[in-house]
Amino acid sequence: MIRPGKFITVEGGEGTGKSTLIAGLETHLLDRGQPVIVTREPGGTPLAEAVRSLVLSPPGEERWSALSEALLVFGARLNHLEKLILPALEAGEWIISDRFADSTRVYQGLGGLSTEDFETLDRLVVGKAQPDLTLVLDGPVTDLVARRKQRGGSDVFESMPLSFHEKVRQFYLDIAAANPDRCRVIDAMQSPEEVLKQTLRTLDEALS
């Protein structure tokens, strides 16, 4: 899909440094005069942010089923696309999103969402509005989870056992391998400066 702007998504498990990379990438693009909007999923608009709190911090002890959770997330995603992402891209701005549909494929997929159901929802909601580039931050799970715990905070996914996070890592690597035109794997165990340097090289190669 040809658009004036570029749509970049940043994916990866817990503690991979997505927020740090996004901040550095935003600064770099703004310094070179490229208008950019940083957003996140679930979220990005007032309605989608309300859904985010329901998904990541459900009230009480109840948990959503995989399909109900996916329906919530895709509803928020449609609002996000319609109200923020697509208008910005048409105006020539770049979008950097902390997570997008690949996160739904991974997290809700591990919760029991079928590939068929995901692809049906993705086709209906996202369609041709796929990212131009997806950066998959990757590293050993034990190191990354320890890094995340040092920063504090937790949600329903971050509190899952180590075996779950291992599956998350492998799921992302499988997605990257299956989508080489869109996805690039970035070594998250480098220093933040080196992660940004690798990312900038990747941007030049993939989006030039």
| Domain, as residue range, for 42 | 7-207
124-159 residue pLDDT tens: 999 999 999 999 999 999 888 777 666 655 555 666
Q: Give a yes or no: residue 22 inside a domain.
A: yes
Task: Give the pLDDT score at 155.
Answer: 53
Q: pLDDT higher for 156 or 87?
A: 87
Provide the β-strand partners of residue 84.
Answer: none
Tell me the pLDDT of the chain averaged across its residues. Answer: 92
Q: What CATH number is attached to the domain comprising 141? A: 3.40.50.300
In-domain check, residue 149: yes
Name the token pair of 82: 């319609």
Question: What pTM did the predictor assign?
Answer: 0.92
pLDDT of residue 148: 67
In a domain, residue 78? The reply is: yes
pLDDT of residue 208: 74
- Rounded to an integer, the average pLDDT of 160-181 is 94
| pLDDT value of position 1 | 59
Whether 19 shows a pLDDT value over 90: the answer reads yes
Is residue 68 domain-resident? Answer: yes
* pLDDT (mean) for 63-92: 96
Dig out the tokens for 174 from the structure. Answer: 């499988």
The mean per-residue pLDDT over the stretch 46-64 comes to 91
Tell me, yes or no, whether 186 lies in a domain: yes
Is residue 128 in a domain? yes
Q: Quick one: the chain helix, strand, coil %, rounded to 5?
A: 55, 15, 30
Strand partners, 135: 10, 184
pLDDT at 151: 63
What is the average per-residue pLDDT within 89-104?
A: 97
CB 28 within 8 A of CB 126: no
Q: Are 22 and 147 in contact (CB under 8 A)?
A: no
Within-domain flag for 1: no
Q: Residue 24 pLDDT more than 80?
A: yes
Q: Could you give the CA distance from residue 54 to residue 105 in angstroms, rounded to a whole number?
A: 18
Q: What is the number of domains present in the chain?
A: 1
The distance from CA 178 to its chain's CA centroid, rounded to whole angstroms, is 17
Identity (one letter) of the amino acid at 42? P
